[in-house]
A = this chain, B = another copy of it.
């Protein structure tokens, strides 16, 4: 497993790599969710690049960039032996040199939900992923469903800009109690950690109602919100959404594939989760 820190070396290596080449972009501090992407990507490609880069441009000025957990040694140990050929871990100034001035922006799709709660977030995400796609030029890139809107935004960008990269979205990996794996879960106190599965409980309840025939989106949103509000450790709810799975426009009636998504704050952590009804 090679570890590479410069854009030039990564671009050169990927031009010579076996094909198809898979890319798993991460911000490091890897958990089983990331590793499931690596496993899956390993199986359907002849070469595999994992990028580890805490992208500053997707954090707002009030967000947790400085505190975001980093542990490169642990990440390398987790990847070693798992079939990764190259780890691309550039320093910030390699990705954003002085004078950097170009941004990729998905418009309507990125304005709602996380985009509304975190202005500029998806501009940073789309920009860094466009750069990674151009540097690595993979045939396929892998993302988790847990960041459902992110996956939709990246899929839209890759298609709109004719990037020739297939965006593969894999199921959310969860703790035994249902909490979606996330590097940010370490922000939770033991008490908050115990209460954190309330998001998945609310999503499961919505799914159950839908399976029972409920198609009124507003009733589903109300039910999920009521369940979150019943958990005293949930301090604020950013949104509860039942939206078209492709455009993320809020639905009145669930008459097509839908993404049910939640964002809630619990102490230092801001948790998001979603399920797709289809």
Contacts and interface: CB of A to CB of B under 8 A. Distances in A.
A107 interface: yes
A109 B106 CA distance: 21
Interface stretch (A25-33, A46-54, A76-84, A127-135): A127-135
A108 interface: yes
Interface in A156-195: 156-157, 160-164
Given A11-B162, A162-B11, A164-B11, A102 B126 contact: yes
B103 A104 contact: yes
B7 A162 contact: yes
A163 B99 CA distance: 17
Contacts of A100: 160
Interface residues of A, number: 27
A106 B162 CA distance: 19
Interface in A1-44: 7, 11
A105 interface: yes
Copies, count? 2
A161 B101 contact: no
Contact of A101 (B107, B127, B163): B107
Contacts of A102: 104-107, 126, 156-157, 160-161
Interface in A209-259: 247
A134 B106 contact: no
Contacts of A163: 134
A108 B101 contact: yes
A21 to B, nearest CB: 14
A24 to B, nearest CB: 18
Interface of A: 7, 11, 99-109, 126-127, 130-131, 134-135, 156-157, 160-164, 247
- Give me the 7 closest cross-chain CB pairs, A-B, nearest first: A102-B160, A134-B162, A135-B162, A102-B157, A101-B107, A103-B105, A102-B106
Given A104-B104, A104-B105, A131-B162, 4 more contacts: A7-B162, A101-B107, A101-B160, A131-B161
29 contacts: A7-B162, A11-B162, A99-B247, A100-B160, A101-B106, A101-B107, A101-B109, A101-B156, A101-B160, A102-B104, A102-B106, A102-B107, A102-B126, A102-B157, A102-B160, A102-B161, A103-B104, A103-B107, A104-B104, A104-B161, A105-B105, A130-B161, A131-B160, A131-B161, A131-B162, A134-B161, A134-B162, A134-B164, A135-B162
